[in-house]
Amino acid sequence: MRILFYAAKSYDRESFDAALKKYSDIEIDYIDHELGPRSASLAVGYDIVCAFVSANINAKTLQIFAKCGIKAVLMRCAGYNNVDVEKAKELGILVKIVPGYSPEGVAELAMGLALAANRRLCKSYNRIRENDYSIDGLCGLNFHGKTAGIIGTGKIGYAMCNICTGFGMKVIAYDVYKNPMLEKFVEYVSLNELYRRSDLISLHCPLTDKNRHMINSEAISKMRDGVILVNTSRGGLIDTTDLIRGLKQGKFHGVGLDVYEEEAGNVYENRSCDMSFSSTTSRLLAFPNVVMTSHQGFYTKEALDAIAATTLQNATEAIAGKRSANDIA
């Protein structure tokens, strides 16, 4: 079985080559190109393609795959908002994901961002490197005794509820389904109540057509003044223009973003010598209380190993035409 692996980075090759030792029947070709309609035809001669969060797996991409005889698209991630699932079903192309490869790792980054934004850690780090030992402007808030509002209490949200509880926070949550493992120590509330009561809001729900821009000016206006907002889920959950408006109005004590709307052209690329910056991303970066990382929530050793192992298992099942809980199409 031949797999074309799009947008491969050195750490992908390392983890997949190690996992591949167990699969003598699988051959992987790694390419740097990102997957989209313009690069889909590179998959001719392959059985399966493997893609990540920034791929554009729209109807056109899938139609080209169908012509190339591609049997399955293996997402080496949990989110699949970049896949036209209905088109894949229509064309009979299997799409498999890797759910829950290391939810604790993503939740730990979410808390890391919350702390960094709250305690101005990045600003402080830069100051001290300049021999500046002053601390004015770096004052934070105690998390202990405050209220954390978790939106989406699946695998990552569950881990985040545990972390916040460990910090001595009262945890409230909103989800379309209640997680029975949380009912003993988490209070489920409406979204409006969560906005009204939370000192820290962390997003852990998937991005869908229904909840795109759920964090907009209206939602922000319902939040407490001085709230800390963290997004490690998907950039499209937040309307960036409205977030910037809220930041300018001083609504937020801090904002931590591992994902943001315009990330597709940026993630995992070194653009440090690039002169063409997008206005909204650079505007976000200009706020002293905003901390951003480049979609690295998934990026731990444990997660990389788990992603490689499950993706190769998905490949074997896809070729055998076997359905599993990892199928989205």
Counting contacts by CB under 6 A, is residue 235 touching ligand NAI? no
Residue 270's contacts (CB-CB under 8 Å, 6 or more residues apart) are none
User: How many beta carbons lie within 10 A of that of residue 65, not counting itself?
Assistant: 25
Stretch touching ligand NAI by CB under 6 A, among 28-36, 153-161, 215-223, 316-324: 153-161
User: Per-residue x/- mask for ligand NAI, residues 293 to 322, rule CB under 6 A?
Assistant: --x-xx------------------------
User: Per-residue x/- mask for ligand NAI, residues 30 to 59, rule CB under 6 A?
Assistant: ------------------------------
Q: How many residues does the chain have?
A: 329
Stretch touching ligand NAI by CB under 6 A, among 20-28, 58-66, 168-176, 244-252: 168-176
Candidate residues 82, 233, 281, 311; the one interacting with ligand NAI per rule CB under 6 A: 233
Counting contacts by CB under 6 A, is residue 96 touching ligand NAI? no
Contact between 3 and 28 (Cβ < 8 Å): yes
Listed residue (153, 156, 163) closest to 187, CA to CA: 153
Question: What residue type is assigned to position 11 of the chain?
Answer: Y
Alpha carbons 86 and 271: distance in angstroms, whole number:
34
Alpha carbons 5 and 35: distance in angstroms, whole number:
9
User: Per-residue x/- mask for ligand NAI, residues 185 to 214, rule CB under 6 A?
Assistant: -------------------xxx----x---
Q: C-alpha angle 53/278/280, rounded to 5°?
A: 90
User: How many beta carbons lie within 10 A of that of residue 284, not counting itself?
Assistant: 20
Q: Which is nearer to ligand NAI, 103 or 246 (CB)?
A: 103
Structure token digits, residue 231: 């997004």
- Which residues are catalytically annotated? 234, 263, 295
Q: Which residues bind ligand NAI (CB under 6 A)?
A: 78-79, 99-100, 103, 106, 151-157, 174-177, 204-206, 211, 232-234, 258-259, 295, 297-298
